[in-house]
Amino acid sequence: MPNETNADTLALPLTQAYPFLASAGLGNEAEVIRASKDQLGSYTTTLKRARIISLLTSNNLLDQFVTNHWHFGATDKGKREIKRLVNIYDRWIKTGGKDIDEGDNSDEDAGTEFALETHLRDYLAENLAALEPGMTLWPVGQDQDAVEFSVDKNNHRIDILARDSAGTPTVIELKVSRGYEKTIGQTLYYRTKIKEMLKVGKVRIIIVAREISPELKAATADLPDVSLFEYRLTMSLTKL
């Protein structure tokens, strides 16, 4: 599994962030985040990183932390990652710092336009049984998430790493609009990396898109353990 032993790690290094905050007089705040079991949908460790970004920013410590402990944060991709974490933190604050479970948002999300691929990803991460009964998020380490699961040092991430009812790792790739044939090359690379990382012989692939192109259907027709799904949007009206 990926680790956090150097300043070039793609994900904000929690093992460096907690002692850094403590040395800056924010040990109590850091410990609250470290011990927290709060979630935002499927986000657990990612939410901790989002809260740390907020704490660093509000205390004018982000630049110092990036310089000393997280070089990736100074790159263009790193800056986009920081912005993503800020957005996640803002979403969490809007919920009142409470978890969002399926009972809270499944009906609302089902009638919402998936304007961004992240919306589709977050919805499916919380509703994997809609793809297949018994499908769940893959159990990961303390400082990882099964959503946007990193597979290498080049910022390649699986949209969702899941486990089917038989325990088989499943790579889920999402396309908010059309799924083209090049998608299968991407997912086959992910499958190879997961086989190496988890030391397993079989990894399934699921591709979800609003529309599956004929070329993608043809490209995957003879590939074992590859499933294609198309999603549809629904809308409900409530009289006030």
191-236: pLDDT as tens digits: 999 999 999 999 999 999 888 999 999 999 999 899 999 988 776 6
Residue 30 scores a pLDDT above 80: yes
pTM of the model: 0.59
pLDDT for position 226? 95
Residue 1 scores a pLDDT above 90: no
Mean per-residue pLDDT for 53-79? 92
Domains along the chain with CATH numbers: 14-94 (no CATH), 102-230 (3.40.1350.10)
Ramachandran angles phi, psi of 221, nearest 5° = -60, -40
Dihedral, CA of residue 124, residue 77, residue 211 and residue 120, to nearest 10: 20
For the chain, give the percent of residues with pLDDT over 90.
45
Q: What stretches of the chain show up as alpha helix (H) in DSSP?
A: 14-23, 27-35, 45-58, 62-69, 76-94, 102-110, 117-126, 182-198, 214-220
